[in-house]
Amino acid sequence: MNTRYWKLLSFPVALLLGACATSGNSGRESREASSPAAWLARARVVDLAHPLTPDMPIFPGGAPLGVTVLGTVERDGYFIRQLVVGEHIGTHVDAPAHFAPGAATVDRIPPEMLMGPAAVVDVTAQVAQNPDYVVSPADLEAWEREHGPLQPQHLVLIRTGWAARWPDEKRYRNADAAGVMHFPGLSVAASHLLRQRQVRGVGIDTLSTDPGSNTTFEQHRDFLAGGGYHIENLADLSMLPPVGAFLVVSPLPVKDGSGAPARVFAFLPPEG
């Protein structure tokens, strides 16, 4: 195993096994200090979810978030609202059932699949030159040459820089005069490679894992049919290194849901 690959796996191993003890420590204090709970207490946490708001960007045809105040502290003694929310709104998870009949719905994604080391593939330079940029196997293979092979426990995050356009729906959709949207996504060939690597999921900081101009969702159909899931509308990924972050994805467990809004947390090693 090469050095780069060990660095890739060292964080989740430390997180799950508590392998963070200082050399020479022993006894109860050492065990407590090196426990996963103690490690997490010192970790840096990055929230990768956009707040849900009635005016946030949504995919064409979707319904915006509906919010109705049912009670206020001044009037009723407590504050409470009613929310009407679509399954694919804001930062959200696409379950396999979204495009694969009979596949797992969002409540049936195994919990262990909703966490794993993040592999962050940065294509911001390419997207800056071409908003219709399509991530190819070459982009993923370049990452692997630098950091080691993608593994089944990975969650692959595509950093395009598109999150900088949020929450301006016009800029985020980037539609032309004919209504065709122009934002980056993944190719079907890239999806094939990720399926071959058996990664748990793929996320992106745009409205869809398919490019904006695509209206037939080939990448969705391919990847979700393999049992993986998507995370769409991720917030700014710039704080995440290519390797070393551990991701926890927390979609609402909507029974029989095709997807659900989600909080997404990246845990980073403590500074110093």
Residue predicted with more confidence, 11 or 60: 60
Q: What does the DSSP assignment read for 195-211?
A: HHHT-SEEEESSS-SS-
For residue 32, what pLDDT is reported? 61
Q: What does the DSSP assignment read for the chain?
A: --HHHHHHHHHHHHHHH---PPTT--HHHHHHHTSHHHHHHHSEEEE-BPPP-TTS---TTPPPPEEEEEE-HHHHSS-EEEEE--TT-SSEEE-GGGTSTTS--GGGS-GGGGEEEEEEEE-HHHHHH-TT-EE-HHHHHHHHHHH----TT-EEEEE-SGGGGTT-HHHHH-B-TTS-B---EE-HHHHHHHHHHT-SEEEESSS-SS-TT-SS-HHHHHHHHTT-EEEESB---TTS-SSS-EEEEEE---TT-SEEEEEEEEEEPPP-
| Residue 54 identity (one-letter amino acid) | P
Provide mean pLDDT across the span 33-60. 89
**Phi/psi of residue 92, nearest 5 degrees:** -150, 165
For residue 271, what pLDDT is reported? 79
Which residue in 254, 251, 223 sits closest to 265, CA to CA?
A: 251
Q: How far apart are CA 114 and CA 262, in angstroms?
A: 11
Tens of pLDDT, residues 219-265:
999 999 999 999 999 999 999 999 999 999 999 999 999 999 999 99
Q: How far apart are CA 73 and CA 80, in angstroms?
A: 9
| Residue 217 identity (one-letter amino acid) | F
**Phi/psi of residue 63, nearest 5 degrees:** -100, 135
For residue 27, what pLDDT is reported? 60
- Is pLDDT of 20 > 50? no
Q: How far apart are CA 175 and CA 179, in angstroms?
A: 5
CB 90 within 8 A of CB 56: yes
- Is pLDDT of 15 > 50? no
Provide mean pLDDT across the span 180-206. 98
Q: How far apart are CA 106 and CA 97, in angstroms?
A: 8
Q: What does the DSSP assignment read for 169-191?
A: HHHHH-B-TTS-B---EE-HHHH
**Phi/psi of residue 223, nearest 5 degrees:** -70, -45
Q: Which of 20-29, 41-50, 67-76 has the lowest mean pLDDT?
A: 20-29
